[in-house]
Amino acid sequence: MSEEDAIRAGLYSSDGEQVRIPVIENVDFDKDIGIWTIRMRDAISTTDIQDPIEVKVEDIEPVGEQE
């Protein structure tokens, strides 16, 4: 899974959907356990200090065409 695919999956997760206008702060991949961690916050937060939301996405091998 690419970083872009992991971010997309995180945005469509139940936690990610709570963010109206996402600002991606950090994306990490732990290859030992196959988990992406996407840290984001809402660009139009009503408070000055907002805790970032961390979304975990399991890396899955995309199913491609057999050659």
Q: For tokens 């139940």, what's the residue?
A: 14
Q: For the segment 44-60, what is each residue's pLDDT rounded down to a tens digit?
A: 876 666 678 899 999 98
Report which residue type is found at 25: E
Look at the pTM and tell me if it is higher than 0.85. no
| Residue 36 host element (H or E) | strand 35-42
Residues 5-23: pLDDT tens digits? 998 888 888 888 778 888 8
Are residues 15 and 38 in contact, defined by beta-carbon separation less than 8 angstroms? no
Task: Name the token pair of 62.
Answer: 């995309």
